[in-house]
Amino acid sequence: MMKFGLLGRKLGHSYSPMIFDLMGGYRYDLFEREPEGIEDLLRNEDFDGINVTIPYKKEVLQYLDEIDPLAKRLGAVNTIVKRNGRLYGYNSDYYGFLSMVRRTCIDVSGKKVLVLGSGGASVTVRAVLEDLGAAVVVVSRSGENNYDNLHLHADGALLVNATPVGMYPNTGTAPVDVSRFPALEGVLDVIYNPRRTTLLLQAEELGIPCSDGLPMLVAQAKAAEEYFFGRKIPNSENERILAMLR
């Protein structure tokens, strides 16, 4: 039987085993490792494919034999496939967020998009949005565009939360007040637990189209499975699994 799994440090909250079970019903394990255990896992563990979550998406790069150009561009790998003893690295997060944006039917081309956060998730989000033609403004705590000068960006058309603010178990908080952006056409939150963060509840109250991060999580898993098995999977599979999860 082929063997797959998820590599991370703390994985008790992970939805991945459930998602991959709904996709294919194959063996999918959780590989909780401290940093010093990563090389041994990748070099010696018996597996066919592994997904990688924080904090190891950059750490694994040094152990791979080949890295896909997109993953190189983003500087992060979240999908590893073993073929004939060699390790190949890919980034399916890009396709996950791209699918999430397209699912909302929000046209970002030529529009100002505010991305909250400058970490790993922000890099992927920014790459997708720029490829779609958006004018991306990254808001961080200490950057040129920060939480003290948000008034400069009240004309933002889309707001994307790429920070962990509002994520379980620290719920009930939001990185910004949505009402400060009267031109918003949409709000996206990469957080999927809880599904309705305080940020999204604010957007709903104001009648602004919005989405939680579960569609991104499912879509990146589908893309990862395509790498695992070297075959295309219909996009309709995303909606089937989303419906079952919800």
Active site residues: 57
Contact 156/114 with Cβ under 8 angstroms? Answer: yes
Indicate the burial class of 200 (C-beta count within 10 angstroms; 0-12, 13-18, 19 or more).
Answer: buried
CA 42, CA 226: separation in Å to the nearest integer?
20
DSSP 110: T
Scored b (16 or more CB within 10 A) or e, 161-190 reads bbbebbbeeeeeebbbebeebeebbbbbbb
CA distances from 212 to 45, 69, 103, 157 (A): 34, 28, 11, 17
| Amino acid residing at 95 | Y
CA 153, CA 111: separation in Å to the nearest integer?
12
DSSP assignment string, 188-213 = EE---SSSS-HHHHHHHHTT--EE-S
Q: Which residues contact 109 (CB under 8 A, 6 or more apart)?
A: 132, 133, 134
88 DSSP β-pair partners: 66, 81
CA distances from 217 to 111, 187, 208 (A): 25, 17, 22
